[in-house]
């Protein structure tokens, strides 16, 4: 048997310290983290990490920030399972185990010089934010930028101060909707596809990046098709159960692909025929 | 190819010598079960404990390569969080592995060394010597001849074939050769005996042709691609108990879950991985409640596609070796790959 033995266990996490916590909604918090070794995480927008809370377990969490100069990175986390509930109980100075970054990234290079249509549904904005912010920081590298964001109701909107900035920016079009309005909501009401008629795109030069709950994809894809955006210019980020992050444990498998390695960011033209992808 | 001979009375001596220096694990006889005489892999402490005329063991030898529960990390939660990797390995001889199970081990070797090499598997694997043996009996549900698993050209350190009064021993590796030199009384092999090994093998291979795929195994990927919407998946899976027995007894099922255990002092613990199975209802379920293979039919189909198509593209081979264990131990008896694959083939004709 010929193989190279890796230097150590890929299951050993690095330590990261929580430097800031921001409450985003009733069930979501933003954690700013720094690796204890002082090194940058070394991620690209769209990748994820396996987060450990010792004694509780590990969970795959997408990275919500673009690479930042001060070596911090952000995870926005909904408390929904064992690990994320435990994370929500931690305070500033608390330590988390980090493995990764893992997986594929959003098409930061391929989209250069092209128009970008971002489509975020609910906490799909969490991973997509890493790419949106990356594009805004390197604004001149990209063409027209459109951000569509849909939430179930106004209280579930994330990153409120950033949304406020986006609303005011002249160099992007930001459109938002909620499925159900409250008395203060003055904007669009309806699912995210109701924003598409308001958007003009040049399909040949548009890269479309979609992240949202599983049910959202097929309806958004119908809209992108209607706009004539070619399948190979559409990118999705898929959620799956993951344990190892190394393409071994089998949980994230969709037909021939392992989402932890071949994804989470996948080109629609590569997966539309996969039976269990969407 | 280096071929030697051990006379049957001398096999006990070989084993006795090995036991002195090594932990030897081998096939042992268990009582009668509803399935007939059963066999299992366990520690061999005396030569007469080893049984080499078994048809198929209940569990494959994968527990030695991928323990059902394997520690990955030891950790301290408080006062200061710390982790230490755990990579275990101890020298081990596994005595009596049929070619189909050797083929499965070869596949695991490939899977755990490619992509992101897995040090836990690889380190453990380094310590293991495999002594294969050609079957003398065929279990009622085996179809390994159809799966190109009747013989293997590598993966064993030594390979025994019962030719009557003696065993012929093929030396697969230097480590195997050294074992023979140091621990066994061997003699050279005549042309007649060499021929006898060929005859014995073809006889047993023929005995395994009673249960067979009705088409070449290499057609599996295309057959499965064309059978995604077959009504067979629903028909079979409607009886599925999601009990994961088919996964557990399978020599090529290696999926695992990762889990933390905390000691009663609440300050120490272990992270380990344990066998998991894609037929389990929560295998693809995430914390939000979304289940990406919600129905039994979806999970049932996934397993066959994984064996015959998904992993085929990785291994250039089916990840089913035809041992028939899944068929033998599935309580509602829906797991038999021969039946599934042949019926799918029949349907697309």
Question: Using one digit for the tens of pLDDT, what is the confidence trace for A193-235?
Answer: 999 999 999 999 999 999 999 999 999 999 999 999 999 999 9
Both A120 and A240 in a single domain? Answer: yes
Any idea what the Cα angle at residue A234 is, between residues A229 and A237, rounded to 5°?
A: 155
Does pLDDT of B19 surpass 70?
Answer: yes
Residue A45, in any domain of the structure:
yes
Query: Is the model's pLDDT at B65 over the cut of 60?
Result: yes
Condensed to tens digits (0 to 9), the pLDDT of residues A69-126 reads: 789 999 999 999 999 999 999 999 999 999 999 999 999 999 999 999 999 999 999 9
Check whether B17 has a pLDDT greater than 60. Answer: yes
Q: Do B310 and A255 touch (CB under 8 A)?
A: yes
Closest in A5, A57, A275 to B259, CB measured: A57
CB contact at 8 A, A74 and A133: no
- Cβ–Cβ under 8 Å, residues B58 and B29: no
Q: Helix %, strand %, coil % for chain B, to 5?
A: 35, 20, 40
Give tens-digit pLDDT for B303-313.
999 999 999 99
Domain span including residue A84 = 14-102
Q: The CATH number of the domain where A80 resides is what?
A: 2.40.30.10
A143 and A241 inside one domain: yes
For residue A253, give how far its alpha carbon lies from the nearest alpha carbon of chain B (Å).
Answer: 9
- Residues A139-174 have pLDDT tens digits of 999 999 999 999 999 999 999 999 999 999 999 999
Question: Of A49, A72, A102, at which residue does a domain stop?
Answer: A102
DSSP B149: -
Q: What is the pLDDT of residue A112?
A: 98
Q: Quote the pLDDT of residue B202.
A: 96
User: Is the same domain home to A151 and A246?
Assistant: yes
| CA A72/CA A43 separation, integer angstroms | 11
The token pair at B182 is 């140091």
Residues of A in contact with B125 (CB under 8 A): 1
Establish if B258 touches chain A: CB-CB under 8 angstroms.
yes
Tell me if A97 and B284 make a contact (CB, 8 A cut-off): no
Longest dimension (CA), chain A: 67
Distance from CA of A62 to the nearest CA of B (A): 14
Residues A262 and A173 in one domain: yes
> Taking the alpha carbons of A233, A239, A244, A248 in that order, is the dihedral positive or negative?
negative
pLDDT score of B37: 86
Chain B residues 51-90 with a CB less than 8 Å from chain A: 72-73, 75-77, 81, 83-87
Q: What is the CA radius of gyration of chain B?
A: 22
Q: pLDDT tens for residues B169-210? A: 999 999 999 999 999 999 999 999 999 999 999 999 999 999
DSSP run (H or E) holding A226: helix A214-226
C-beta atoms surrounding B203 within 10 Å: 10
What is the domain partition of chain B in residue ranges? 2-69+87-207, 217-255+276-348
C-beta separation of A211 from A238 below 8 A = no
Residue A95, in any domain of the structure? yes
Which pLDDT score is estimated for A277?
Answer: 86
A261 and A130 belong to one structural domain: yes
Distances (CA, A) of B136 to B152, B159, B165, B174: 16, 14, 14, 26
Mean pLDDT of the region B152-163: 97
Are residue A121 and residue A240 in the same domain, yes or no? yes
Same domain assignment for residues A50 and A144? no
ipTM: 0.93
The mean pLDDT of B85-112, rounded to a whole number, is 97
In a domain, A97, yes or no: yes
The β-bridge relationship of strands B82-85 and B69-76 is antiparallel
Of the candidates A88, A97, A9, the residue with the CA atom closest to the CA atom of residue A57: A97
Question: Tell me, what's the pLDDT at B349?
Answer: 78
pLDDT at B34 over 80: no
DSSP string covering B33-73: ETTEEEEEEEE--SGGG-----S--SS-THHHHS-SEEEEE
Query: Last residue of some domain: A68, A102, A136?
Result: A102
d(CA B255, CA A107): 31
Closest CB to B116: pick one of A8, A10, A254.
A10
Instruction: Read off the pLDDT of residues B314-337 as tens digits, 9 standing for 90 and up.
Output: 999 999 999 999 999 999 999 999
In tens, the pLDDT along B213-230 reads 999 999 999 999 999 999
**A139 lies in the same domain as A27:** no
Question: Are residues A172 and A123 part of one domain?
Answer: yes
Whether residue A241 and residue B271 make contact (CB cut-off 8 A), yes or no, is no
Instruction: Clarify whether residues A123 and A85 are in a common domain.
Output: no
- Average pLDDT value over all residues in chain A: 95
In A212-276 the beta strands, taken as DSSP E runs, fall at 234-237, 253-254, 257-258, 265-267
Domain count, chain A: 2
Residue A203 near chain B (CB below 8 Å) = no
Dihedral-angle region of residue A4 (phi above 0 means left; psi in -120 to 50 means alpha; beta otherwise): beta
B236 touches chain A (CB under 8 A): no
Indicate whether A98 and A146 sit together in one domain. no
pLDDT score for A4 = 66
Interface test with A, best of B286, B304, B305 (most A CBs within 10 A): B286
> In angstroms, rounded to a whole number, what is the distance separating the alpha carbons of residues B31 and B336?
24
Res. A1: pLDDT tops 60: no
Q: What's the rounded Cα separation, in Å, for the pair A22 and A43?
A: 22
Between CA A21 and CA B225 the distance in angstroms is: 48
pLDDT in tens, B269-298: 999 999 999 999 999 999 999 999 999 999
Within 8 A of B117 by CB-CB distance, chain A residues are: 3-6
Share of chain B above pLDDT 70, in %: 100
Q: B76 Cβ partners below 8 Å, 6+ apart?
A: A54, B82, B83, B267, B268
State which of A102, A136, A170 marks the end of a domain: A102
pLDDT above 90 for B23: yes
User: Per 3-state DSSP, what percentage of chain A is helix, strand, and coil (rounded to 5)?
Assistant: 25, 30, 45
For residue A3, name the pLDDT band (cuts at 50, 70, 90).
Answer: low
CATH of the domain at A238: 3.40.50.80
Residue window 329-348, chain B: list those with CB within 8 Å of chain A: none
Contacts of residue A250 in chain B, CB cutoff 8 Å? 254-256, 276, 278, 283
Residues A127 and A98 in one domain: no
- Closest partner residue to A13 among B83, B269, B288, by Cβ? B83
pLDDT digits (tens, 9 = 90+) for B35-45: 778 999 999 99
In a domain, A190, yes or no: yes
């Amino acid at each position: 048997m010929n193989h190279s033995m890796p230097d150590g266990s890929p299951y050993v996490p690095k330590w990261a310290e929580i430097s800031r916590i921001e409450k985003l909604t009733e069930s979501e918090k933003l954690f700013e983290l720094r690796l204890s070794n002082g090194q940058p995480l070394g991620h690209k927008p769209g990748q994820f990490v396996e987060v450990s809370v010792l004694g509780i377990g590990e969970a795959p969490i997408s990275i919500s920030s673009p690479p930042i100069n001060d070596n911090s990175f952000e995870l926005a986390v909904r408390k929904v399972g064992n690990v994320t509930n435990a994370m929500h109980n931690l305070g500033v100075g608390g330590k988390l185990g980090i493995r990764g970054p893992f997986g594929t990234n959003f098409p930061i290079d391929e989209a250069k010089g092209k128009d970008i249509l971002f489509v975020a549904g609910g906490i799909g904005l969490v991973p997509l934010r890493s790419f949106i912010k990356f594009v805004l920081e390197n604004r001149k590298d990209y063409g027209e930028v459109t951000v569509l964001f849909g939430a179930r109701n106004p209280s579930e909107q994330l990153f409120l101060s950033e949304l406020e900035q986006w609303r005011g920016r002249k160099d992007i079009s930001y459109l938002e909707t909620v499925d159900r309005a409250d008395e203060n909501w003055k904007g669009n009401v309806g699912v995210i596809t109701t924003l598409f008629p308001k958007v003009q795109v040049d399909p040949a030069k548009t890269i479309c990046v979609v992240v949202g709950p599983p049910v959202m994809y097929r309806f958004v894809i119908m809209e992108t098709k209607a706009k004539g955006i070619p399948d190979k210019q559409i990118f999705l980020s898929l959620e799956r159960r993951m344990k190892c992050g190394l393409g071994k444990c089998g949980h994230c498998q969709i037909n021939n692909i392992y989402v932890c390695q071949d994804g989470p960011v996948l080109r629609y033209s590569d997966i539309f025929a996969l039976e269990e992808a969407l | 190819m280096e071929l030697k001979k051990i006379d049957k009375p001398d096999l006990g001596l070989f084993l006795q010598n090995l036991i002195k220096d090594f932990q030897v694990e081998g096939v042992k006889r268990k009582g009668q079960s509803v399935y007939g005489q059963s066999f299992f892999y366990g520690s061999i402490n005396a030569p007469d404990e080893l049984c080499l005329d078994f048809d198929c063991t209940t569990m494959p030898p994968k527990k030695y390569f991928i323990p059902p529960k394997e520690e990955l990390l030891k950790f301290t939660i408080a006062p200061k969080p710390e982790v230490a990797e755990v990579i275990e390995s101890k020298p081990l001889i596994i005595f009596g592995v049929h070619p189909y199970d050797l083929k499965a081990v070869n596949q695991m070797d490939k899977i755990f060394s490619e992509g992101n090499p897995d040090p836990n598997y690889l380190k453990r694997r380094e310590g293991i010597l495999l002594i294969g043996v050609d079957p003398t009996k065929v279990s009622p549900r085996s179809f390994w001849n159809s799966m190109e698993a009747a013989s293997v050209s590598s993966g064993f350190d030594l390979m025994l074939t019962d030719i009557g009064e003696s065993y012929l021993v093929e030396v697969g590796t230097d480590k195997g050769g050294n074992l023979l030199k140091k621990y066994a009384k061997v003699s050279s092999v005549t042309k007649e005996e060499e021929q006898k090994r060929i005859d014995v093998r073809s006889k047993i291979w023929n005995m395994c042709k009673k249960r067979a795929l009705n088409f070449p195994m290499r057609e599996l990927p295309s057959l499965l691609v064309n059978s995604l919407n077959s009504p067979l998946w629903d028909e079979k899976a409607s009886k599925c108990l999601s009990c994961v027995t088919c996964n557990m007894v399978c020599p090529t099922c290696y999926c695992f879950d990762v889990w933390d255990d905390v000691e009663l002092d609440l300050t120490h613990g272990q992270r380990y991985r344990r066998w998991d199975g894609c037929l389990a209802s929560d295998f693809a379920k995430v914390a939000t409640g979304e289940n990406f293979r919600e129905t039994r039919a979806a999970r049932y189909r996934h397993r066959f596609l994984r064996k015959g198509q998904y992993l085929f593209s990785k291994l250039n081979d089916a990840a089913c070796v035809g041992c028939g264990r899944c068929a033998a131990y599935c309580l509602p008896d829906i797991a038999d790959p021969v039946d599934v694959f042949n019926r799918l083939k029949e349907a697309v004709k």
